[in-house]
Structure 1
Amino acid sequence: MKLILAVDALIPPLTGIGRYAWELASHYQTLRDDLDSMRFFFAGRWIGDPAEMLQSQRAEAVASKRGATHVRMPERWHRWRMQREMCGHIFHSPNYFLPESVNGGIVTVHDLSVFKYPETHPIARIKHFENGFASTLKRASHLITDSEATRREVIDYFGWSAERITAISLGARPEFHPRDVREVAIALSEYGLVYGEYSLCVSTLEPRKRIDRLLAAYLDLPSSLRMRYPLVLAGSAGWLSDSLREQIERGERDGWLRYLGFVEEAFLPLLYSGARAFLFPSVYEGFGLPVLEAMASGVPVLTSNSSSLPEVASGAAWLAEPDDHDLLREGIERVLCDALWRQAAITRGVQVASTLTWERCAKRTLEVCRRFA
């Protein structure tokens, strides 16, 4: 099989779809013996080594390095040349869109939030989907989704047949695993954190993540509990979050909240494993990778009872309605304080996470590609 993987999402620092694309790219390279040819496509050009893009803070600089070919010619001739070079290959885009030069191909659709919750996205992103996604669906031969929940949504929303969509779960990296206090105490202390004495939420600050609901529920916990286990937020600033930032600043002033912003990749597994509980009340996710990473780290989890999140948790998490203030508050208190439930959740969570790895995700994705080779 001759395979082309689009790596446009490999823009450091890696988050979300970028992580997905990198894991596929890196695992595919270890599986090269199973492939007749493996090429990487970035922004209209060929890339020799995707790892180079992660060693640079500017992806455009990578394109001029050895191993990338940028063809300067009229657009129609460039498109013709790319189509000719792609002939006989299976093209996989892990980021929603097929290049205009590709007729046929496999596309990963991570979620439909831009269609179901457009008010939670920047205008530019909505326009990007309005202008290009329909064309991709017309030209795609098969779709991959991160969960069965998203697969069913695509079937219902776009009228695709079930046989043309495959659900393949994402994975947790080996770095996410249970750790004792000796492994993480020093790293946590640099952030003023103590092992087992904080709750954690890792999320971009955007409306559908329901961080505002989480803060309101946490504020309503008994004061002694809230101060004993302060809430730590980690993640980029996102969008449409001005009022949320005001909530965060008030919580920080009152001493029960810490906002770390974007956390370096190497520290993130330590931050997870040192938490007493992981809280992720997002109202909608195509998969919810932070939930899986928390379970792999041996941390009890509270998450939403909607979209793909119950599927990912697979019985290991406390499920709550994120827009029901009382139920969310009660769930947080249970996850923090119920010793019997916590131990059962930890055991079940580690078991679930052990079955969902990036290697498994890559192998299953290659199996889908082979069906169309």
Structure 2
Amino acid sequence: MPRPHGAGRHVAAHRHAPPARRRRRRRRRRHRPTLRRARRGRNAGRRVGPAGAPTRLLRRRRRPARSRAASGRPRTRQLSPARGDGAGRERVRRPRRSRRTGRWSRNGAVATDSHHPREPAAGRLGARPAPAAVHGRLTAAHLPGPARARGARPGYSRAVPPVVLLYNVGEPPPPVAAVHGRFPAWFRRLCEPEGVDLAVYDGVQATSPPPVRDYAGIVVGGSPASVTAPEPWMEAAVETIREAARVGTPVLGVCFGHQLIAAAFGGSVTANPSGWEIATHEIELTGDGRRDPLFRGLPDAFCVQFSHADAVDPDTLSAANGVRVLARNRATAVQALAAGDAIRGVQFHPEFTAAIVRDYVRARADILPDADAALARARDAPAGQRVFANWLGAWVRRA
């Protein structure tokens, strides 16, 4: 088959061209449409495309260059060299676009240089220990990295859910736990619809506060113990609340946790003069409570679930410490309180359902003055779940 006119000359020139130039020619040829020479018409002798249009009309238009800011692609994060002897130098991968959401990751993933392997620091949440390892009774299965824990904070992908730490300081009565499970399952049921993950810390076995900076919020739950009978582990729980207040991590105290918050800010807890408050009761918001985001969308009075015999003494709460009473009722003068901007406490149990509170009444029937009346009062109280959802929305899931 005869070779096209001039083909040999171009092939020879291409063969002897520098490698970089040959690569550029291949790329240009790859995007070039199939050309031929027109034999007749006004374009006779010219190289034309399949439709007969001249090559000058077939040139691809170059898109105008866009800056990174205009394209929405973030810049890579600049990291300073690691401290120490230089071991564990870090480099940053290029930002990647999520296939599911189409968003760019803010900083890219941090990778460790393979020539300088970095040993994970003891207690560092970013380095996951072996599954059998224990981090102050916080098991490895509950140890999220800082990026996962902070969720939608600046510098991380918004697709990562925030993590709330449940500072668990007790267990429900055995008859209740046998039917309904334990506190972590009840709080996880409230967190999952809001797109929040839950980690669990055993506060009874703890000797030091957990790393509160690495979590989007902390919930201090209920306990059969009493603040009026101090135990050694309670001091670590109070220090955890104070440390969270110092670093700005939101805290929600529930029942016993509500009383610990009062103790952490100078208040005192005593036996409730009205005795046991159990099952479903109504509370009323104060002026501060009506304006607080914790009770957004709720009426001035609503019903919630209870099971407590101690109460915070309102005369010992000081406004100088930033403590405000948000709710009350006839049985308990301090049903909810605020300490500063990010610390909230509620005497009721938002994690209780009507079935759970009925089983609580049955489990404590021998110490209650009128268990039958308490069983008759028990009913669903969705306002408690709304309060917990408000706390997640106003403090935990903030951008």
State the TM-score, normalizing by the size of structure 2.
0.27
Q: Determine which structure has more spread, i.e. the larger CA radius of gyration.
A: 2
More helix by share: 1
Q: Relative contact order (C-alpha < 8 Å, sep 6+): which is higher?
A: 1
State the TM-score, normalizing by the size of structure 1.
0.28
